Structure 1
Amino acid sequence: MNIFSRYLIRHLFIGYFAAALLLVPLFTLFDFISELEDVSASYSWLQALLVVIYLVPRCLVNLSPFIALLGGIVGLGNMSKNMELTAIRCAGFSTFRVAIVVLISGVMFTASLAIIDEWIASPLQQQAQIRKDTALAESEESDPNSKTIWGQQGDEFVRIDHLDKQGQPQGVEVFDYNADLTLKNYLYAQSATYGENHTWTLHNVKHTQWQGDRQVTTQQPSMLWASIFNSDNLKQLQLTSESYSIPQLKNYIHYLKSTAQPSMEYRSALWQKLGRPILVLAMVLLIIPFTFVNGRDTGMGNRLSLGVIVGLVTYIIYQICINLGLIFSITPLIAVIVPPVVMLIASVVLVYRFNERK
Structure 2
Amino acid sequence: MNWRIKQVDRLVAYSVLSAVLATWLLLTGLDAAKAFIGAAADIGQGNYGIGAVMLQILCTVPRRAYEWFDSAALIGSLLGMGALAGTGELIALRSAGLSKLRICLSVAWSLGVLTLLVAVMGDTLGPRGEQQAQSLLLQAKSSSVAIGQRSMGVWARDGDTFINAKRGITRQVQGLREVQLSDVRVFEFAPKGQLLSIAVAESAVHSSGQWTMQKVRKTEFVDAQANSTTEASVSWKSGLDPRYLALSIVQPAYLSISDLRRNIRALKRNQEFSRPFELAYWAKVFWPLNVLVLVVCVLPFAFGALRSGGMGKRIFVGMVLAIGWNFLQRALVNVGAVYNINLAFATLLPALLLALLAYLYFRRA
Task: Tell me if TM exceeds 0.5.
Answer: yes
**What's 2:157 paired with?**
164
Conservation of the 8 A alpha-carbon contact between 2:77 and 2:295: yes
Conservation of the 8 A alpha-carbon contact between 1:171 and 1:188: yes
Q: Which deviates more, 319-328 or 124-133?
A: 319-328
Measured after TM superposition, the shift of residue 90 of structure 1 is: 2.6
**What's 2:80 paired with?**
75
Q: Cα deviation per residue 1:54-110 (whole Å; 9 max; x = unaligned)?
A: 111111111222111100011110110110111222333222211221222232232
Conservation of the 8 A alpha-carbon contact between 2:293 and 2:354: yes
Question: Aligned residues, how many?
Answer: 294
**What's 1:213 paired with?**
none
Q: Cα deviation per residue 1:165-215 (whole Å; 9 max; x = unaligned)?
A: 9xx83399xxxxxxxxxxxxxx9956379xxxxxxx9933399xxxxxxxx
Counterpart CA distance in 2 for 1:192 and 1:347 is 65
Conservation of the 8 A alpha-carbon contact between 2:189 and 2:197: no
**What's 1:15 paired with?**
19
Q: Which deviates more, 109-118 or 14-23?
A: 109-118
Match of 1:87 among 92, 97, 101: 92
Match of 2:59 among 54, 67, 73: 54
Counterpart CA distance in 2 for 1:4 and 1:188 is 62
**TM-score if structure 1 supplies the norm length?**
0.68
- The structure-2 alpha-carbon separation of the partners of 1:162 and 1:7, relative to structure 1 and needing over 3 Å to count, comes to same
- The structure-2 alpha-carbon separation of the partners of 1:333 and 1:189, relative to structure 1 and needing over 3 Å to count, comes to closer
**RMSD over equivalenced CA pairs, Å:** 3.9
Measured after TM superposition, the shift of residue 306 of structure 1 is: 2.4
Conservation of the 8 A alpha-carbon contact between 1:54 and 1:128: yes
Report the 3-state secondary structure (helix = DSSP H, G, I; strand = E; otherwise coil) of the residue aligned with 2:139.
Answer: helix
Counterpart CA distance in 2 for 1:327 and 1:34 is 34
**What's 2:325 paired with?**
314
1:191 corresponds to 2:195: no
1:205 corresponds to 2:197: yes
Counterpart CA distance in 2 for 1:103 and 1:294 is 20
Structure 2 runs not aligned, ≥5 long: 148-152, 166-183, 200-218, 229-244
Counterpart CA distance in 2 for 1:270 and 1:113 is 16
- The structure-2 alpha-carbon separation of the partners of 1:254 and 1:138, relative to structure 1 and needing over 3 Å to count, comes to same
Measured after TM superposition, the shift of residue 340 of structure 1 is: 3.2
**What's 1:33 paired with?**
37
- The structure-2 alpha-carbon separation of the partners of 1:23 and 1:323, relative to structure 1 and needing over 3 Å to count, comes to farther
Conservation of the 8 A alpha-carbon contact between 1:161 and 1:169: no
**What's 2:234 paired with?**
none
Measured after TM superposition, the shift of residue 11 of structure 1 is: 1.3
Report the 3-state secondary structure (helix = DSSP H, G, I; strand = E; otherwise coil) of the residue aligned with 1:205.
Answer: strand
Q: Which deviates more, 324-333 or 89-98?
A: 324-333
Q: Cα deviation per residue 1:3-31 (whole Å; 9 max; x = unaligned)?
A: 11121112111111011122111111222
Counterpart CA distance in 1 for 2:140 and 2:336 is 33
Show the 5 A alignment for 1:239-250: 239-250=250-261
Match of 1:276 among 284, 287, 292: 287
Give 1:21's aligned amino acid. Answer: L
Q: Cα deviation per residue 1:206-239 (whole Å; 9 max; x = unaligned)?
A: 99xxxxxxxxx977489699xxxxxxxx9xx832
Counterpart CA distance in 2 for 1:130 and 1:121 is 14
- Report 1 or 2 for greater relative contact order, CA contacts < 8 Å, sequence distance ≥ 6: 1
Counterpart CA distance in 1 for 2:189 and 2:358 is 55
Give 1:108's aligned amino acid. Answer: V
Conservation of the 8 A alpha-carbon contact between 1:15 and 1:75: yes
Give 2:304's aligned amino acid. Answer: V
Counterpart CA distance in 2 for 1:96 and 1:62 is 27
**What's 1:332 paired with?**
343
Conservation of the 8 A alpha-carbon contact between 1:189 and 1:204: no
Percent same amino acid among aligned pairs?
23
Counterpart CA distance in 2 for 1:161 and 1:224 is 27
Measured after TM superposition, the shift of residue 316 of structure 1 is: 4.7
Counterpart CA distance in 2 for 1:350 and 1:224 is 72
Counterpart CA distance in 2 for 1:242 and 1:188 is 25
Counterpart CA distance in 2 for 1:192 and 1:250 is 35
Conservation of the 8 A alpha-carbon contact between 1:99 and 1:351: no
**What's 1:198 paired with?**
none
Counterpart CA distance in 2 for 1:224 and 1:130 is 37
Give 1:272's aligned amino acid. Answer: A
Conservation of the 8 A alpha-carbon contact between 2:197 and 2:221: yes
Report the 3-state secondary structure (helix = DSSP H, G, I; strand = E; otherwise coil) of the residue aligned with 2:304.
Answer: coil
